[in-house]
Structure 1
Amino acid sequence: FLGVHLVNGTNEVNHIKDAVEVIGQAFTRLLAKESISNPPTECKDTDSWYHGDKVYEALIETKLNGETGQVSFSQEGDRLNPMYEIININSNQRAMSVGLFGDKDKVLGLRMMVTNLTWPGNVFVKPKGEKISRDLRIVTLKEKPFVEITRLPKDGQCRPIHPAVHAFPCKNGTQDYCCMGYCMDMLAKIAEKVQFNFTIHLSKDGMFGTFEKHNGSEKKYWNGMMGELMSKEVDLIVAPLTINPERAKDIDFTKPFKYQGLNILVKKNQKDSSLGSFLQPFQDTLWILVGLSVHVVALVLYLLDRFSPFGRFKLAKSDDAEEDALNLSSAMWFSWGVLLNSGIGEGTPRSFSARVLGMVWAGFAMIIVASYTANLAAFLVLDRPEAHISGIDDPRLRNPNEKFKYATVKGSAVEMYFKNQVELSTMYRNMEKQKQYLTAEAAIEDIRKGELQAFIWDSPRLEYEAAHDCDLTTAGDLFGRSGLGIGLQKNSPWTHEVSMAVLDMHESGFMEQLDNRWIRVDSRSSCPESNSAPATLGLTNMAGVFMMVAGGIVAGVLLIFIEIAYKRHRGLKEKELELARNAADRWRGNIEKRRTLRQTLQKQREELKKPNSVSKQPSPSSMHATTPTTNANSLMVNLESNNTKPISPFYRRPSLLEATTNSDCLPPPLPMGYQPPGYVPARSGRTVTWHNPSHNPDHLV
């Protein structure tokens, strides 16, 4: 053990002698120049002594060789050139003077008898000691705004973005980068004050460090930057490393270079309206029921008016009644018209039962439309984004639903904070079930995409992100306050010097400059201002309505083509039906003609049965005249009587006269103007079978 002791520090008599001598010489010189007023003597006096400053200056200017050695003072009144003796505690626990330290001939010096020292372990041999290298190895990791990395240019020179910004080469395995940021500027200042050189490399696994088991072993180890420092691969951790009790057990921390807390980063809720925003006032189920009700009411109105004895269908048949009758199409038009509050010019129900239903439907439509209008105003005009998270005690964090996800970085001090806090253990278990993030960049990117609803992290980083992105903001107050420090090996000889450099930078305002340069960057001037006043409706709010109108136009155009195609198809059917009706009319005409033929033949038979008509033999021309001529259609005549006497030698026996269509059949060549008895003129396309005694019984013409 070594200590120092002021020489003659315990000799009060000599110190009093020197003090009186200093006062005497000071007043002697002062009174020789001017008179001195009396100082205030009352305890309650608040006025300063007019000559007090002059007395003080005279005292500190006094110099003498006194009983305690050379006596002189600094401007602050401290004694200069003191002499200290070096005290060593020996093996017998006795204090021994082994040297002197002080000014001699205005030179600060140390005179020590090393051979008389008792070293630790009660040994008298001087230990070899350890040489302290001033080339330090530093590890860091990418964490905006504290450390930002860029690719190293081809010329191998890191160029800072600003003259006040420092950029240093750093390695990540075999890749070369340039590191800059808050911590790099701070490191440059510390190296300047403490006088050391350094090399930088990035963390191997990109983690701060957690104390956990590895490879199935029972023993726990530190990973990340903490593991590299514990294994003495590096000398310092210069990064936003949170000071906590778990880490402080195994490494040394400097004084905090920044005080911070935890905060929550969320994405601002935008008021972007979707195309279906005009449908928001009602749920999907209600919209389906309203649409179904329209068609059901239209069908019931049609049926009531159709079967009611007072409906138009039961009125006397007239053109007006038929035109005003409530058909299904008119009922549908009426139902939609009442719901949409449009004028109904025609097709209204006539029966009392249908009108009662119409009044009830009108009341239903009034309530639906009024409710829709009120809710539409609330959704489109007064609708505000959902309130941000109020803080760490927000119910959405304490009892989240399946759609609300929040997280922090795995293996970080924030995760350890939630793990060790009993009241936050539920949140820690919820975060364990969610997606695990190894870096803050990945979590912040998911916040932007909307895949993560809240990210809990150090406030400086979140403030930086919120300042650079108008869509992000921090929610609630800070919690879990802590400090960020530089990590060193346990009992490192650099701990005190680096800590003193950090404190000096705080006192000089250098840290405040770094905050303004890297963290408190105001980039929100281009962000739109939030306004709590009701928003004016724009195209984004009503785009769905215009899309609906466009859809109606397209539907109308498609339906007109369908109607045209249907009309053409229906016209062809009507032509076919018209031809069928014409054929049926011709058939009925033929039936009437056959009936007339039978009646005519019947009359001829009756006339032939008379006695005075037997001797009369009709001439061929008369025979031909009495034979009915067929038309272009098929003709069949059944001669029912077998007792008819022949009217000429060529009279055919009772048979079936049949005409069929055949364009190849022509009558036999006969003399000009000659027509044999029993001949029936056949037009083109007909065959006639008839009987002639002078020819074959069945001669086909």
Structure 2
Amino acid sequence: MEEYISGTNLTSLISNLTSEARLLARVYIIHAGIEDTDELLTAVVRLQQLENFVWIINERVLVSNSSALFDGSYKLIKFIYMYISFLGILGVKLHSSFTEENLLIDATQLIMNTFSKFIQYPPLFWSEKISVLNCSSMQSWSYGRDVFQAFLNSSVEGGITGNISFNEGGDRIESLYEIINIQHGQLTVVGTYRSNTSICTTSSMCREVIDRTELKLNEDQIIWPNGLNRKPDGVHTRRNVSVVTIVEKPFIFARLGNNCDPLSEVYCTHKNLNNSNGEEYEQYCCYGYCIALLQELSKNLSFVFTLHLVADGKYGSFEKDRIDQQKRWDGMIGELINYQADMIVAPLTMSPERADDIEFTKPYKYHGITVLVRKNHNTSNLGSFLQPFKGALWIMVLLSVHIVAFVLYLLDRYSPDRLRFASRQDKKLETNSSVDSEDEEDPLNLSRALWFTWGVLLNSGIGEGTPKSFSARVLGMVWAGFTMIMVASYTANLAAFLVLDQPKTSISGINDARLRNPQDNFTYATVKGSSVDMYFKRQVEFSTMYRTMESKNYLTVDEAISDLRDEKLNAFFWDSPRLEYEAAKDCDLVTAGELFGRSSYGIALRKKDAWINPLSHAILSFHEKGFMEILDNHWIYAKQFE
């Protein structure tokens, strides 16, 4: 709504309202006196702002007999009258049934219905004499409030001008209006509008009543401005859009040059503020998540765009002017507010501070804040499996294997039972020279004894070469029990050592004690002036952390991640999509803890921009179709993009 005072240059007012920079809607309601209306329409015609616009005037001008809309004699130039004859102005006025006579009849019926409620009142109410009405008197009538309340509660069903009832302020609830179209200097009714029509939704007893508005409009009969039969567009949108963005992997990549791939890359420029090489603008080819999104939006909404990188390389933060206390934004937001760009398509977080001065579409990407740290490298070596036992114990085990094997050899070789068995075998050979090979049992030699002790220790299963004598078998059972205890102890200790030997992240998340209680040898930071920086600044619980990292914050994300790789920085706070991309690309980096400070990315425009709703609807459609998930998998979680 644009207000004006007496003496305002109405031509400048109309020019300002319909300028390309401010133009949002195509429908204008003129609520002014007759004289000002004439001047406003004069300015409209002079500026040739007729076609594709709708101008609606108030009832006062429509019903005025001296209006220049009809006789051309009220301070208007003749050519204005010629335009007005087919201008197609619209207006709204009370229905023709709302004549003074009909209103008087309905008012009489309302008074009768109201005072019928006072029949049971005391005789004093009817016999009291009221003096001549004096509007300046401060003395009130004792029954005045009751009578007024009775009028508010009274109603007339089926009156000539419709149903009559009032709201708490005394205004009539149901009204009927005619929609007027000025055609060739005549008032032509093209529709009606009824407000708060009572509709019975149940049976004839009408136990349930709802109120609704009712509009009947015959668009085929309407003549629009400039004599057109086509209805103007309700919203005017720019088809050539200037888009600003910022280099931020994996959303925006930029490579120097102008040989761009027409399918996946977009030509973009960057204003060189330093201008050290004598060139004011540098040429880049931009690609990435946001470029793919922008190309799809352009195709669906039929607009063309020019893309450029933000000059100062900042997202946008503000400082208040010391004199007028006005916000001064820099970065992409500053370019948008100062009309250097029409739209921001970048990983720009929707924050309360930014939403005060710009407007966002529906989110295209939901995210949170997380922390990126460097993995602790595993220091284990090939001999780590020996850690469960000390070196002396391993030496004793090796000695025990060989000593037990040697004793088994001696016991089995020189056992008395073994000698008696051997003599029986000799006698059997003398009586029967044909002896089955299966009955022949060779004595346990030293190599078989070693095979037996190692096989029992390693649980490999011994099929042959077992002790034959009773004493050797007893020793073998003792050795098996010993090895069972040793193997069980080793396995238990090995599991514990492997768990302790797992590489851990340096911190567990936002609630880690080293973050909450800062130490001199542990540094963490974010990007100065970013939405993450603003988040820590406004959260009281993170005030200590914010004071610690305020002086250590970086200018860009790339600088911070580079220092993190070089171990100059211990932890870096940033938006989860970028950090997940870095962790997927570099195995030495990992995100720690759960997400916090959840927010979302949106496309930013100026307040009340006409592109807000079309872009929001398109983004919601992309979510439903799975297009945004395709972009996530292709650009954020893939490792092949550099």
Q: Aligning the two structures, in what range does the TM-score lie when normalised by the shorter sequence?
A: 0.3 to 0.5
Q: TM-score with structure 1 length normalisation? A: 0.41
Q: TM-score with structure 2 length normalisation? A: 0.45
